[in-house]
Amino acid sequence: MLPFLSVQLMALLTTSVFMDVPQSGSTVRINIVSRLGKQTHEGVIISPAGNGLITIKLQNGYNISHPLDGIESIELIENATERLESDTTKTENDVNQDLPLVILLHTGGTIASKVDYETGAVIARFEPDEILDSVPELRPIARIEAVLIGNMFSDDIRPRHWNRMIEETEAAFERGAKGVVITHGTDTMGISAAALAFSWSGDGGRPPGPIVFTGSQRSSDRGSSDAKENLIAAIHFAGHGPNPSGNGDSTSIVMHESSSDGVLSILPGISSRKMHSSTRGAFQSIDIEPLGRITVEGSDCSVEMIRNTGEQRPIGKPTLFDESVTIAEIIAGPHLRPEHIRALASTKPDAIHVHGTGLGHLPISDPNGDSPENPEVQKTLNSYIEDGGIVVMSTQTIFGPVHLDVYSKGREQQEMGIIGHGSVGSPESSLVKLHYLLSRFKDEYSNIKTIWSTSLCGEIIDIK
């Protein structure tokens, strides 16, 4: 032993002297000896997790690492060079030209991702061949063209990115696409789906074909990933599903119905929400029934439509959002103070969107005479509205309507000029509708107030 040699160098020497390890990206079978006895594992070699280790990605998606000095043998199944040469032999002629064309727009998230076998990192896939190599079940479903919009965490998406998606969906249909799939991070996917629904159908039209949002709750390098089935179902629905009517189905979200594999929900993009931070069945439609479900078995998909959205509207042109619009959001509750509202109002937003309590209420009353800040909240909002500001109410309860006729407080809020009575659906849908109307009728309070209670694209239904 040479005491002055670094641990890392000793590991490299040990590796090179005692074990001939194939290059990263090679498929191998390793026979190991551990305290559990002899075991055999098969997978692809990736960058080692530590010195003196070999790390392989198993067929189930998980990685394992094992000390090289505990490996009995390594059998090479396919080296990396052969795998790459095999990949490069695939051409466009392998694609069935009779299949429907689906344009895949990638905005970010983990669904369209792959493992870089040199580093072990998960990186974005956006080339059609790479996507088909990752999910070969897609080959008999559709011809796929991919467009990279970005690699964004969905919480970083802004209205300018909605507009980019809108423009790319329009371009996709002009190129003859049967449908469009937008891969999107799940955190704000419901907001973007609502934005494109209002864009395409807020003025009474509809998109030429399905616009389907999908994502994944679990990273694609995990054995429990939902990415593969979500993508298969979304591509199938975009390529083979019914054309939208424009009445609540202009966009859809396709995600796992539950934590189990095999069945996926088709949810109305106009009003759906991520309701759990991590489970695979995280998405629910809010106040509006799901559109249907898809059963997936490999490449075989069957679609069951649950809800009839009515007669088809004429194909229309999408409306872009005014990117200069600013909306401030406040949450009603025990800590809302008038100075908070004044601070927001000082930035001169075009509107204030309120997440109200219950049926859509604010702390504006002081029946015990011990909370003077409550009437000040009302006074501050009155000043903002009198100066031309627009205030729209949604509800924190998520499900159920904004109903400002039930209690005297709600009637008082309406007298103040607060809009929102009769809204249903998610607060996110309310926010997007507000931005859409401001894009069309900026500084026209009367128009926005009148149109607010109108269902533009299926976002308002009668519920109890």
- 195 C-beta neighbours (distance < 10 Å), count: 29
**Cα distance between residue 35 and residue 12, in whole Å:** 25
Catalytic residue among 27, 183, 186, 380: 186
At 401, list the tokens. 């309507």
Tokens of 420: 């929102």
Residue type (1 letter), 276? H
Instruction: Judge whether 278 and 211 are in contact, CB under 8 Å.
Output: no
Q: How many residues does the chain have?
A: 464
Residues 6 or more apart whose CB falls under 8 angstroms from that of 437 comprise 447, 448, 451, 452
Terminal alpha carbon distance of the chain? 80
- Residue 70: CB atoms within 10 A of its CB come to 14
- CA–CA distance, 298 with 303 (Å, rounded to integer): 14
| Strand-pair partners of 74 | 30
Evaluate whether 359 touches 403 at the Cβ level (below 8 Å): yes
Give 81-122 as a DSSP string. HHHHHHHHT--GGGS-TTSPEEEEEE-SSSSSEEE-TTT--E
Q: Is 187 among the residues known to form the active site?
A: yes
- Residue 36 is which amino acid? L
Q: Are 42 and 74 in contact (CB under 8 A)?
A: no
**Residue 183 annotated to the active site:** no
- Distance CA(241)–CA(237), nearest Å, equals 4
Catalytic residue among 15, 107, 110, 309: 110
Radius of gyration of the chain (CA): 27
Catalytic pick from 274, 287, 309, 433? 274
Tell me, yes or no, if 110 is annotated catalytic: yes
- Cβ–Cβ under 8 Å, residues 114 and 126: no
If one counts every other C-beta atom within 10 angstroms of the C-beta of residue 35, the result is: 5
The Cα 7–Cα 129 span in angstroms is 42
Annotated catalytic residue within 116, 133, 187, 322: 187
Active-site residue 81, yes or no? no
Catalytic residues, by residue number, are 110, 186-187, 274
